[in-house]
């Protein structure tokens, strides 16, 4: 080992999140992930990281990378894996000192993203599977689209996002089910009743 490694090892930024508590929040578009995460932040002091929000912030910044991302997102497609992961990791490190844990919302979108996350960051201790019927998700998204200003909350893109969710993201749930960390949440109910189930799952972590 060189002197340089020895000196910098202790202050490596990654060290800050090595033992962080991580919860994956997985569900279709409009299933209620963001709504539930907000409530968890308030009650448990977790940090909510929505991959979609991080990406939209990059788009809003007007950067060159933001412009490329916007084109992909407008089509309802998935953005490159490394881009999202780096953004999540940077955001986690920035919040490490003040967080009780992290809610990773909207990621992994496919099994490979989960594997990469674990390699670069760490393993989740819980996966909240926010489950609603497709009709419910479409209805909620159309309503959200009236005020969200989100370019992807329109009927055509919603359909593509739902298809992609069933094809790419549902296998993620099966992947983590084999590890016994999936808690299925019935998100057809009123927000507070959904939250009760979420609290039960989190309380059981301790
Ligand atoms: N349990 C619930 N009952 C009724 N509406 C809900 C709900 N959970 C969320 N909503 C609403 C709020 C939003 O306008 C819309 C989508 O919710 P969201 O939290 O933004 O979903 P997601 O982050 O999974 O895309 O549905
Ligand atoms: Mg959301």
Q: Write out pLDDT tens, residues 95-113.
A: 999 999 999 998 999 999 9
CA atoms within 13 A on the CB side of 73: 21
Q: Whose CA is nearest to atom 25 of ligand 1?
A: 30
Residue whose C-alpha is closest to residue 112's, from 168, 181, 28: 168
CB 52 less than 6 A from any atom of ligand 1: no
Ligand nearest to the CA of 147: 1
Confidence of residue 3 (pLDDT cuts 50, 70, 90): low
pTM (2 d.p.): 0.90
CB 40 less than 6 A from any atom of ligand 1: no
CB 27 less than 6 A from any atom of ligand 1: yes
Q: What percent of the chain has pLDDT over 70?
A: 95
What number is the average pLDDT over the span 22-44? Answer: 97
Question: Is 32 among the annotated ligand-binding positions?
Answer: yes
Instruction: State the closest ligand 1 atom to the C-alpha of 52, by its place in the atom list counted from 1.
Output: 23
Least confident of 3-12, 48-57, 122-131, 146-155: 3-12
Ligand nearest to the CA of 161: 1
Residue whose C-alpha is closest to residue 113's, from 40, 175, 182, 157: 175
Q: What pLDDT was estimated at residue 12?
A: 83
Averaged pLDDT of the chain: 92
Question: Is 107 among the annotated ligand-binding positions?
Answer: yes
* Better pLDDT: 27 or 4: 27
Ligand nearest to the CA of 158: 1
CB 140 less than 6 A from any atom of ligand 1: yes
What number is the average pLDDT over the span 6-30? Answer: 84
Q: What pLDDT was estimated at residue 5?
A: 56
Is the pLDDT confidence value at 9 over 90? no
What number is the average pLDDT over the span 186-198? Answer: 98
CB 161 less than 6 A from any atom of ligand 1: no
State phi, psi for 50 to the nearest 5 degrees: -95, 120
Question: Is 113 among the annotated ligand-binding positions?
Answer: yes
Give ion ligand 2 contacts, CB < 5 A.
34
* Better pLDDT: 82 or 41: 41
Is the link from the previous residue into 40 a cis peptide, with omega within 30 of 0? no
Please give the C-alpha separations between residue 133 and each of 94, 140, 145, in angstroms, as whole numbers. 36, 11, 18
**Helices marked H in 64-169 — which ranges?**
64-74, 81-95, 111-120, 134-148, 155-164
Predicted confidence (pLDDT) per residue in 69-100, tens digit: 999 999 999 888 888 999 999 999 999 999 99
Q: What pLDDT was estimated at residue 81?
A: 85
Q: What pLDDT was estimated at residue 120?
A: 93
């Amino acid at each position: 080992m060189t002197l340089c490694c020895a000196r910098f090892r202790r202050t490596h930024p990654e060290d800050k999140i090595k033992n962080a508590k991580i919860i994956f929040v997985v569900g279709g578009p409009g299933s209620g992930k963001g709504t539930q995460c907000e409530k968890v932040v308030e009650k448990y002091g977790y940090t909510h990281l929505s991959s979609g929000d991080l990406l939209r912030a990059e788009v809003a910044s007007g950067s060159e990378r933001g412009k490329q991302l916007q084109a992909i997102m407008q089509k309802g497609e998935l953005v490159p894996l490394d881009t999202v992961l780096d953004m999540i990791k940077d955001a986690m490190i920035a919040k490490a000192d003040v967080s009780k844990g992290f809610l990773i919302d909207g990621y992994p979108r496919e099994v490979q993203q989960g594997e990469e996350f674990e390699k670069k960051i760490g393993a989740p201790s819980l996966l909240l599977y926010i489950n609603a019927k497709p009709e419910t998700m479409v209805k909620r998204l159309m309503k959200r689209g009236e005020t969200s200003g989100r370019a992807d909350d329109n009927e055509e893109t919603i359909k593509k996002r739902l298809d992609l969710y069933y094809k790419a993201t549902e296998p993620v749930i099966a992947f983590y089910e084999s590890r016994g960390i999936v808690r299925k949440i019935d998100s057809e109910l009123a927000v507070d009743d959904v939250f009760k189930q979420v609290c039960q799952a989190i309380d059981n972590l301790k």
